[in-house]
Chain A
Amino acid sequence: MATDTLDPRSWLSPTPRGLYCKPGDFYIDPAVAVARAVITHGHGDHARPGHRAALATPETLAIMRARFEGMPDTSQQPLKYGESIRIGEVEVQLVPAGHILGSAQIVLEYRGQRIVVSGDYKRRPDATCPPFEPVPCDVFVTEATFALPVFHHPSDMGEIGKLLRSVATFPDHTHLVGVYALGKCQRVVKLLRAAGWDRRIWLHGSLLALCKLYQEQGVDLGDIAHVGDAVLETFKGAIVLCPPSALTDRWSRRFAEPIPAVCSGWMSVRARARQSGAELPLVISDHADWAELVQTLQDVGAPKVWVTHGREEALVHHARSMGIDAEALHLSGRDEEDG
């Protein structure tokens, strides 16, 4: 597959608007509205409104419609996992990234050279989306959200066990669990179900729409209900999911003696956990930890690696020590808030 003479930067390069594929004339996860966009997944720092045309998995397009008022002005092209399409002179394929529902790696082939743009990914099982599939390639573009050796995400069931033990120990309190609305919320619901929690799970109003969408996409979340529909007494011993920002918001005052928990990969670092206000930090992440990142570089076997958003410096350093030609690719508009 490798063509030694072709410089990959000549056909895929970072620009202020995002990663641009010249022979296909499209951007990947652009930071601003463009004519043609290919989207890895539905998180706000990757999927933005206003593109004239967008290509993504059907699930990602459904998420974007739910977030961006139906996107009537965007021409939408769904592409299922494993199917290929030719855009200009480039062959494009979407492969599961294991990050959230609909998340995909974008596999690009041009003149015999293959670049994989992984978007955000993880290697752990997740009941809400198919697992990451390593694709051998010439250039691998990787995220680096948790790219430090201090990040080792423990088993997610172990973390859910901590939550359930706390609920059993403090039956008179409400457990308020901070989760990101897209992906983390639904994964945590599924983990709770897998751990045997059959009772109703209460949701902050801002989590409802995406949970409904997941249900429509065939993800069974069991008995979920909106906090706003209930009277106060029912929250004793209950598990209530909300966005992390709501933990310290006035909204949280309706619960008697709530115990704030936060589900995020950042929770393994104490200063970050305390900053979030969590009394019960749960390390549940939708991103690869250090070992998964390193394993993935080995699995795809790419001689060249471009590292985007996160702690690029450490991963670039380590990849070079593995004999990989690695460099940081500075893309604007990425944030780390969906850890």
Chain B
Amino acid sequence: MQAFAALLDSLSYQPARNAKLRLIETYLRETPDPDRGWALAALTDGLDFPTAKPALLRGFGEDKIGPVLFHLSYDYVGDLAETLALIWETDPSAGPAPTLGEVVDTLQGATKMETPALLKRWLGTLDATGRWALLKLLTGALRVGVSARLAKQAAANIGNQPVDEVEEVWHGLTPPYRPLFDWLLADGPRPSTNAGGAFLPPMLANPIERAELEALDPAHYRAEWKWDGIRVQVAATGGVKRLYSRAGEDISAAFPDIVDAIDFDGVFDGELLVRRDETVAPFNDLQQRLNRKLVTPKMLQEHPAHVRLYDVLWLEGEDLRGLPFDQRRGRLEAWMAQKPRPRFDLSPLVVFTDWAHLGRLREQMTSDGIEGLMLKRSDSLYLAGRPKGPWFKWKRDPKLADCVLMYAQRGHGKRSSFYSDYTFGCWREGDDGGAGGRQLLPVGKAYFGFTDQELRWLDKWVRDHTTNRFGPVREVAPELVLEVAFDGISRSTRHKSGLAMRFPRINRIRTDKPAAEADTVDNLLRLVALSTDG
């Protein structure tokens, strides 16, 4: 338990991705089974302890120091597990600290009645960091800045395997993953894959610009629209039906309408969309359906989900990833033609003669539901990861807006001495329409798009024009115009301006433009109107 606690402690203060990887790798190498497997499960969100709930911990705290002091403490610290860890005392007579495996085994077999006594004994055996780690583990939210993907990357690194190899075997494994570590570290066999709804690591595309296309022979490429939804994998194998995000996150629970419609055996690549009467709804509608544990019948009815398929990886027991794109496409089309498949349709190929022709088609397509084009080599095998060459995404030119810098926040890691996160706004006319009533409203936040040199310039500008400070955030004089590029814009009730930008980034610094001439919120609202009509 102490080694796991030290790991979480270091991770929580380490902002750099590579340093986080090294910490996890060292832990996985040096910690024996089954503890390292349970730790990996905790980092990938694969553990649940239904008998240890926040109310129990709150009760512990109130009993320990009384409700008044406990609530003052909790209020100050802001985290229940941490508060309890800090107020509890180490009891030298409580015996040795439990191992991680002991905690997991014991708690998973414990009843709700037995849990409190177990927990209290363990808390006494640990120091404050150990208690914090134990309580974080039990309450489920580690919050140490490690994604499941990063933890899997660390596991892959210790066995010198690509992370996609780990992804591929992952869904056939259960904690504490002994076969995985046997394979990665001890010459054990590769665990079997694709048993029961396993996730197959997807093939990704590289961005390309118009000029670069000239080096490619258009006859070798197939084009598809790049839909503005979410890339998903529909995995139905061995009688198990799952829907995965591109990163391998199981999102089946949020989309029962899709899962219930699966009456086939295969693994497909496609775009998740919300679709009403043949029309694709804006991305914002899809967002309403994401990150939900429970979906209401109303939500299902008003925001019906749909998957637009564009590739097939596995069909009725056969792995198709070794076939060229054209052959896979042929199999997919034939399979779709067999019978109507409600909630699924086929992403059509865009027929074109040469790049200039395709460029015109790209210009003419103004629908907001389309982000651009995908180009796939006709002979490309389905390769996990982002291989250079076979697949490209040719995005639509971004939309641009001139915004005024309002706030800047210090970055993290290498950027911790730089004001590198920028909140910018546009003008809203006063109620009387006069210039005197104009007001800046924040419309977005961006922390990339600029060069290192521009970052140094922006950092200095922020320091020289600060008008107010709120912790790591500075408010600046509303004088600097930033040209912001973004891929889409939609209405949002979460922002005061009523707008939400997709993928905003700083395109140019417009020192030449007076702030008063920056865009208005109304200008941006017109962009919303245009794209929804298109």
A65 contacts the other chain (Cβ, under 8 Å)? no
Q: Which residues of A contact B (CB under 8 A)?
A: 148-152, 154, 247-250, 252-253, 260, 268-271, 273-275, 277-281, 311, 313-314, 317-318, 321
Q: Is B208 an interface residue (CB 8 A)?
A: no
A150 contact from B66, B68, B83, Cβ within 8 A: B83
Bound-state Cα–Cα, A323 to B299, Å: 58
| Minimum CB distance partner of A249 in chain B | B417
Candidates B65, B77, B416; contact of A269 at CB < 8 Å = B77
Q: How far is the CA of A3 from the CA of B174 in the complex (A)?
A: 74
What A residues does B14 contact at CB under 8 A?
279
Docked Cα-Cα span, A151 to B68, in Å, equals: 16
Of A250, A268, A314, which one neighbours B417 at CB under 8 angstroms?
A250
Q: How far is the CB of B346 from chain A (nearest CB, A)?
A: 48
Interface contact tally, CB-CB below 8 A:
68
Q: With a CB–CB cut-off of 8 A, which chain B residues contact A269?
A: 76-77, 82, 86
Q: Which residues of A contact B66 (CB under 8 A)?
A: 321
Provide the residues of chain B in CB contact with A317, threshold 8 Å: 68-69, 72
Contact across chains for A275 and B472 when beta carbons are under 8 A apart: yes
B residues apposed to A, CB below 8 Å:
12-15, 65-66, 68-70, 72-73, 76-79, 82-83, 86-87, 128, 410, 416-417, 471-472
Q: Tell me, rounded to whole Å, the shortest Cβ–Cβ distance linking B414 to chain A.
A: 9
Contacts of A148 in B (CB 8 A): 69, 72-73, 76
| A241 vs chain B, min Cβ distance (A) | 17
Q: Is the CB of B73 within 8 A of A252?
A: no
Closest B residue to A317 by beta carbon equals B68
B64 to chain A: closest residue by CB: A149
Residues in B whose Cβ lies below 8 Å from that of A274: 12-13
The residue of chain B having its C-beta at the shortest distance from the C-beta of A166 within the complex is B10
Known contacts A249-B417, A250-B417, A317-B68; is-contact A150 B15 (Cβ 8 Å): no
Of all chain A residues, which has the CB nearest B14?
A279
Main secondary structure of the interface of B (DSSP, over half): helix
Q: A149-B86, A269-B77 are in contact. List 16 more A-B contacts (CB 8 A).
A: A150-B73, A150-B86, A151-B86, A152-B86, A152-B128, A154-B128, A247-B416, A247-B417, A268-B86, A268-B128, A269-B76, A269-B86, A279-B13, A311-B72, A317-B72, A321-B66
CB pair A270–B12 under 8 Å, yes or no, is yes
Cα A275 to Cα B416 in complex, Å, equals 11
Q: Are A273 and B65 in contact (CB under 8 A)?
A: no
CB pair B87–A271 under 8 Å, yes or no, is no
- Please measure, in the bound complex, the distance between the C-alpha atom of A321 and the C-alpha atom of B66, giving whole angstroms: 11
Looking at B66, B87, B417, the one whose CB has the most chain A CB atoms below 10 A away is B417
Given the complex, which residues of B lie within 8 Å of A277, measured CB to CB? 410, 416
Contact A149:B69 (CB < 8 A) given known A270-B82, A271-B78: yes
Given contacts A149-B73, A268-B86, contact A248 B78 (CB under 8 A): no
CB–CB B471/A248 < 8 A: no
CA distance A281 to B416 in the complex (A): 16
Residues of the A chain whose Cβ atoms lie less than 8 Å from the Cβ of B87: 149-150
A251 to chain B, nearest CB (A): 8
Give CA–CA (A151, B76) in the complex, Å. Answer: 11
Asked if B417 contacts A253 (CB within 8 A), the reply is yes
CA distance A277 to B86 in the complex (A): 21
Given A150-B76, A152-B86, A269-B82, the answer on whether A252 and B417 have CB atoms closer than 8 Å is yes
B72 adjacent to A281 (CB under 8 Å): no
Q: Can you list 22 pairs linking A and B with CB atoms under 8 Å apart?
A: A148-B69, A148-B76, A149-B69, A149-B86, A150-B76, A150-B77, A150-B83, A150-B87, A151-B86, A154-B128, A248-B410, A248-B417, A248-B472, A253-B417, A269-B77, A269-B82, A271-B79, A278-B13, A279-B13, A311-B72, A311-B76, A317-B72
Residues in chain A near residue B416, CB distance under 8 A: 247-248, 260, 277
List chain A residues, Cβ under 8 A from B76: 148, 150, 269, 311
Q: Kindly state the separation between the CA atoms of A150 and B88 in the bound complex, as whole angstroms.
A: 8
With the chains together, A280 CA to B128 CA distance in Å? 16
Report A-chain residues with C-beta under 8 Å of the C-beta of B13.
Answer: 273-274, 278-281
CB distance from A309 to the nearest CB of B (A): 15
Closest to A271 in B: B78
Q: Which residues of B contact A150 (CB under 8 A)?
A: 73, 76-77, 83, 86-87
Q: Enumerate chain B residues within 8 angstroms of A318, measured Cβ to Cβ.
A: 69
The distance from the CB of B226 to the nearest CB of chain A, in whole angstroms, is 38
A232 CB to nearest chain B CB (Å): 16
Pair A314/B86 contact, Cβ less than 8 Å: no
Q: Across the interface, which residues of A come within 8 angstroms of B12, CB to CB?
A: 270, 274
Contact B15 A279 (CB under 8 A): yes
- What is the bound-complex CA distance between A296 and B72, given in angstroms? 21
Minimum Cβ distance to chain B for residue A247 (Å): 8
Q: How far is the CB of B464 from chain A (nearest CB, A)?
A: 12
Measured CB to CB, the closest approach of chain B to A17, in angstroms, equals: 28
Q: Which 4 pairs show the lowest CB-CB distances between chains A and B?
A: A150-B86, A149-B87, A314-B72, A150-B73
Max chain B CB contacts within 10 Å: which of A149, A248, A271? A149
B456 to chain A, nearest CB (A): 10
Docked-complex contact A314 and B77, CB < 8 angstroms? no
Nearest A residue to B16, CB-CB: A279
Chain B residues within an 8 Å CB radius of A151: 86
Which residue of chain A has the shortest Cβ distance to B85 in the bound complex? A150
With a cutoff of 8 Å between Cβ atoms, the chain B residues found around residue A270 in the complex are 12, 79, 82
